[in-house]
Structure 1
Amino acid sequence: MDSSSQIIEKPSLITSFLAITKARLAISVVFSTLAGYLLGVDTWNANSFLMLLFLAIGGYCMVGASNVFNQVIEKDLDALMDRTKNRPLPSGLISKQNALLLGFVLTAVGLAILFAVNPKTAMFGAISIFLYVSVYTPLKTLTPLSVFVGAFPGAIPYMLGWVAATGHFGIEAGTLFIIQFFWQFPHFWAIGWFLYDDYKKAGFFMLPTGQRDKKTALQVILYTVWMILASIVPVFGFTGKLFLTKVSGAIVLLLGFWMLFYAVKLYKEMDAVAARKLMIVSVSYISLVQIIFVLDKFIR
């Protein structure tokens, strides 16, 4: 068959929806939220399972809306980067108007569902989407401090789950927030390192010094250390109802050293390969830590 006569099938609506809402990212964020809920819930009943479902759907809607608005704003910049040029908007699969409509619908549905959980959950969800879309996204082309700003909405989901379960923001939710807050710096700086050249095409400078240098690598190490310390604080009984046994604390500490090893390796090797490895380890780290926190609560 002549190549010119071949028919290229357009992605389905579901495929396009998953792409524009960044499904993998959204699911990982929802996972954090559900982990926080499991840590906060005291008694299980039919309503608890309903709240989990609400959190999953409402959380996906909110994260999906943030990602949609982000891609609307960065449509022209995404077209410049190899990593993002085939996204639905720059490739023309979805129009800007339809994307905006989808973003507003997801926001409304997400907020309504989270409000049904409790008003504070909806409030933190609204703060998260506002910071991500209105502050973090515009700052990405202006200053490396955008990563610091973006760490705030990025850290909300873990503690959001606790607030959803308890209706209260206290030392427990704050600790979950801090753990995920510090984790984001080595994670996103690792991404910024190995995608440096691609980001540069769109004018994104995500590294703290703007360069792949020793100062950036050193900051990756320092924030990894802060993350480790924050993760083991619940062992010492200073964080209210959020508690971690010594055995689980030791496992979390070992996982932290595992991530620190790759942070140090980046400092020594200063290349994209080491940065990519650190990114992969960081994703595994935060998921495993959240699982350990939940298991520790239910098996101790």
Structure 2
Amino acid sequence: MYLCSAKKEYLSIARSHSVPGSIIRNFKEITKVRLSVSVVFSSVAGYLLGAETIDYYILLLLCIGGYCMVGASNVFNQIIERDLDALMDRTKDRPLPAGRMGVTPAFILASILTLTGIVVLYVINPQTAMFGAISIFMYVSLYTPLKTRTPLSVFVGAFPGAIPFMLGWVAATNDFGIEPGTLFMIQFFWQFPHFWAIGWFLYEDYKKGGFFMLPNGKRDKGTAIQVILYSIWTVLASLIPAVGVTGRLYITPISAILIGGIGIWLIYYAVRLYKLKTEKAARQLMLVSVSYITLLQVIYVVDKFIR
């Protein structure tokens, strides 16, 4: 009797300790914490580029509001795609298809994150809240349903995907002009080689869910050529601030050389995908593309504060 009682007590304690851990795990997975943090990083970089003096309170609001908006987009996306996620190896263990979370609590979470995000960004300034709202609307209402209908979904998804870098500048200045427009353009072009690389090495898995992620719908020469072209446009757009035609957004010749160097690195791996046409080459390009945009943002910010 004593052993049975002790065992029940132990199991009860174990469950009570596992519940918070399970909630945290589900929250991290359904909001895609790594993706959300990387998006917030872009917003912070944009803020640091636009701010004349750093207001850490505004910076904190930007991080909180940015995470809420991206997290909400991801939750709504997973609610809509839960049945398709169950078909793919990459996504079948997500909270909704795995049954660890119901649709109703997920919808409540997404709604709370959306409202919180808009309110927090509005405290910064109305324009920031507006662009945040546009981002979540385009991602959920346009990009998500188009993924199973047309390869143009990547083009549509590139718009909300390019907003965070620009959003930081708008949060710092309450103004939209040539500077945030340039930041938007850089991250807009970058979306294509990045997501087409993902679409290439996850082609078979995406096929199970009926997603069209490659421009030609195939892992062929035509797709690889477009990856190269958009990689080149990404690098050229990244070098425009060195010419001095983008207002307060400016990089020195030394930084331009560094950007050119990592740009050659990006284009090299894009050409490598064209030559090899393998999943490994596509995965390497994806990793290089992530490194490229991160290093670019770091170089831009460091350039501003040391010149």
The normalised TM-score by structure 1 is 0.96
For 1:115, what is the secondary structure of its paired residue? helix
Matches within 5 A, 1:108-123: 108-123=115-130
Per-residue CA distance 1:242-275 (angstroms, 9 max, x = gap) = 0000000100010010010000000000010000
Counterpart code for 1:207: L
Between the aligned partners of 2:87 and 2:298, the Cα distance in structure 1 is 38
What does 1:246-261 correspond to in 2, within 5 Å?
A: 246-261=253-268
Structure 1 counterpart of 2:105, from 98, 105, 111: 98
Q: 1:39 corresponds to which residue?
A: 49
Partners of 1:13 and 1:72 lie apart in 2 by 17
Structure 1: distance between partners of 2:273 and 2:115: 42
* Identity rate, percent: 65
TM-superposed deviation, 1:43 = 1.9
- Paired with 1:165 and 1:235, the residues of 2 have a C-alpha distance of 22
* Structure 2 Cα separation of the partners of residues 213 and 227 of structure 1: 21
The CA distance in 1 between the partners of 2:283 and 2:79, in whole Å, is: 27
C-alpha distance in 1, partners of 2:155/2:247? Answer: 27
Partner of 1:28: 38
Superposed counterparts of 1:99-178, under 5 Å: 99-178=106-185
In structure 2, C-alpha distance between the alignment counterparts of 1:50 and 1:132, rounded to whole Å: 28
* Alignment-mate amino acid for residue 216 of structure 2: T
Q: Which residue does the alignment assign to 1:69?
A: 76
Q: CA deviation at 1:207?
A: 0.1
Tell me the amino acid that sits aligned with residue 141 of structure 1.
Answer: T
Give 1:3's aligned residue: none
What secondary structure, in the 3-state scheme, does the structure 2 residue paired with 1:207 have?
coil
C-alpha distance in 2, partners of 1:43/1:88? 42
Q: CA deviation at 1:133?
A: 0.1
Letter of the aligned partner of 1:290 in structure 2?
Q
User: For 1:89, what is the secondary structure of its paired residue?
Assistant: helix
Who is 1:242 aligned against? 249
Aligned match of 1:15: 25
TM-score by length of 2: 0.94
- Counterpart for residue 216 of structure 2: 209
Amino acid at match of 1:234: P
Q: Which runs of 5+ in 2 are unaligned?
A: 1-10
Q: Which has the larger helix fraction?
A: 2
Instruction: State how far apart, in whole Å, the 1-side matches of 2:124 and 2:25 are.
Output: 29
The one-character-per-residue Cα deviations of 1:26-75 (angstroms, maximum 9, x if unpaired) are 0000000000000000123xxx1000000000000000000000000000
Pair 1:296-2:303 in alignment: yes
Q: RMSD across aligned C-alpha pairs, in angstroms?
A: 1.2
Instruction: Write the deviation string for residues 265-292 of structure 1: whole angstroms up to 9, x where unpaired.
Output: 0000001000000000000110000000
* Bigger radius of gyration: 2
The residue number in structure 1 matching 2:288 is 281
State the one-letter code of the partner of 2:37: I
Q: Is 2:230 the partner of 1:220?
A: no
The Cα of 1:15 is off from its aligned counterpart by: 1.3
Q: Distance in 2 between matches of 1:93 and 1:55?
A: 30
Shift of 1:94: 0.6
How big is the shift at 1:205? 1.4
Aligned pair count reads 292
Q: What secondary structure is seen at the aligned counterpart in 1 of 2:46?
A: helix
Paired with 1:34 and 1:299, the residues of 2 have a C-alpha distance of 18
- Tell me the CA shift for residue 79 of structure 1: 0.2
Structure 1 unaligned spans of 5+: 1-5
Counterpart among 141, 164, 186 of residue 179 in structure 1: 186
Residue 192, structure 1, aligned to residue 199, structure 2 = yes
